[in-house]
């Protein structure tokens, strides 16, 4: 309950990403937050106040000139009686209003009247996000102390275009909220207080030349969720992350790397630890000799050949290290023979558990929000049902707590 007792004023503005606000409400409330929603007129074209009210268990505020809500100057009360104002999604129009001090509806009036911290999660078409006017408004808002989470890069739901403009995922927004409110600190109180954890996450980028690289299709969502779940239980967590576009989890120490060799060095530097969870999708190979300049295509010449070298096996290194953590857990991303390959990896790497999953393209696991894993241990295999990656993280964190408590 990392947000227990905290009051979040959630402003939902009009865009297709408004549907994500429904999951955001659920995620905030399951962490103990009291969510009070404000919806613009445009937002109500995408999701209904009835749905938002049911999920938030709160009255939904929609009108600046409501006779009922404004009897006690309701917009000022909303603006002040909260710990944080979150705008998700934040459209280009609402950003422009805030940046220029407009107050022609309830949402913009509240944002002008508040003296509380403000977090915006922008969502719009990539060309709108890159427009000079939007960039100016963002810079103005940042200069005024407004915080941002996202937007991310990907395909737009409404147009089929791709680029920067996707609203941050609800769990990323929650992590930013936790960070701003300072509720989760490194090495906090909880059942894992005093325990040290190492988590790896995301892909590695192995350079070919200054502009190209070899990588795996990992978003880092699962690794980041596990790091956050362990921190919520009070562990002192070091998260070693490859290049990702998601927010840092609250309450963890983050070490950013790009290459597999850098990740190995960072993991070894973080030892000793009580538990190591190796989630990162580390590239198995790197280019033996990286080009100093961009490799150019030359008419009439065959494509250049790339000589590959094997990258360090980080999980195996940790599993057989002199300072081996008491609990070593690895992930096995497979496209066939999931159980067999996972069990072989368990023995070879010296791990206590392997979480094996099928990452074939049709599963949508790589980069998606859900996962289905097999927990493979020395005493057998346990099939976990499909669930959200944050739920997988919570379940694994509970297992880690149980095993470390028994040692």
Q: Is 216 a catalytic residue?
A: yes
Q: Is 349 annotated as a binding residue?
A: yes
Q: Is 312 annotated as a binding residue?
A: yes
Q: Is 23 annotated as a binding residue?
A: no
Q: Is 331 annotated as a binding residue?
A: yes
Q: Helix (H) and strand (E) counts for the chain? A: 13, 21
Structure tokens at 298: 């030359």
Residue with tokens 């072989």: 344
Q: Is 316 annotated as a binding residue?
A: no
**Residue 142 and residue 127: Cα distance in Å, rounded?**
20
User: Helix H segments across 243-337?
Assistant: 260-270, 314-319
Residue 122 C-beta-side C-alpha neighbours within 13 Å: 26
**Residue 148 and residue 159: Cα distance in Å, rounded?**
24
Out of 137, 216, 357, 371, which one is annotated catalytic? 216
Q: Is 296 annotated as a binding residue?
A: no
Nearest to 183 by CA among 328, 3, 360: 3
Strand runs labelled E in 103-235: 118-122, 147-148, 152-155, 162-166, 196-201, 206-209, 212-214
Q: Is 345 annotated as a binding residue?
A: yes
Q: Are 254 and 241 in contact (CB under 8 A)?
A: yes
Pairing of β 253-256 and β 236-241: parallel
**Residue 177 and residue 175: Cα distance in Å, rounded?**
5
Question: Backbone dihedral region of 80: left (phi > 0), alpha (psi from -120 to 50 degrees) or beta?
Answer: alpha
**Residue 107 and residue 87: Cα distance in Å, rounded?**
9
Q: Which residues are catalytic?
A: 216
Known binding site: residues?
A: 284, 294, 312-315, 331, 345, 349
Q: Which residues are annotated as a binding site for CTP?
A: 284, 294, 312-315, 331, 345, 349
């Amino acid at each position: 309950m990392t947000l227990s007792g905290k009051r979040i004023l959630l402003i939902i503005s009009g865009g297709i990403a408004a549907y994500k606000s429904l999951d955001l409400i659920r995620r905030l409330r399951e962490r103990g937050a009291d969510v009070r929603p404000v919806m613009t007129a445009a937002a109500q074209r995408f999701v209904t106040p009835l749905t938002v009210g049911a999920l938030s268990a709160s009255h939904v505020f929609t009108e600046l000139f409501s006779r009922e809500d404004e009897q006690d100057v309701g917009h000022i009360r909303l603006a002040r009686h909260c710990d944080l104002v979150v705008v998700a999604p934040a459209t280009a129009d609402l950003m422009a209003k805030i940046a220029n001090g407009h107050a022609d509806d309830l949402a913009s009036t509240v944002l002008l009247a508040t003296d509380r911290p403000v977090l915006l999660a922008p969502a719009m078409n990539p060309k709108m996000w890159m427009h000079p006017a939007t960039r100016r408004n963002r810079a103005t808002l940042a200069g005024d102390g407004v915080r941002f989470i996202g937007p991310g890069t990907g395909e737009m739901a409404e147009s089929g275009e791709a680029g920067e403009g996707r609203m941050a995922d609800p769990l990323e927004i929650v992590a930013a909220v936790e960070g701003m409110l300072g509720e989760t600190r490194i090495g906090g109180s909880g059942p894992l207080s005093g325990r040290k954890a190492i988590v790896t996450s995301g892909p590695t980028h192995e350079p070919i030349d200054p502009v190209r690289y070899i990588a795996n299709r990992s978003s880092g969502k699962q690794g980041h969720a596990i790091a956050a779940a362990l921190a919520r239980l009070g562990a002192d967590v070091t998260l070693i992350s490859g290049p990702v576009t998601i927010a840092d989890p609250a309450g963890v120490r983050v070490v950013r790397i790009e290459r597999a060799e850098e990740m190995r060095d960072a993991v070894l530097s973080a030892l000793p630890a009580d538990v190591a969870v190796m989630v990162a999708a580390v590239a198995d190979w790197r280019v033996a000799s990286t080009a100093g300049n961009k490799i150019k295509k030359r008419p009439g010449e065959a494509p250049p050949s790339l000589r590959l070298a094997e990258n360090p096996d980080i999980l195996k290194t940790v599993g057989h290290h002199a300072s081996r953590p008491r609990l070593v857990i690895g992930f096995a991303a497979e496209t066939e023979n999931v159980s067999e390959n996972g069990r072989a990896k368990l023995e070879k790497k010296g791990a206590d558990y392997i979480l094996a999953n099928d990452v074939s393209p049709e599963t949508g696991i790589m980069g998606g929000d859900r996962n289905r894993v097999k927990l493979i241990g020395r005493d057998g295999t346990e099939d976990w049902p499909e669930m959200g990656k944050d739920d997988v993280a919570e379940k694994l964190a509970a297992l880690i707590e149980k095993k470390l408590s028994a040692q």
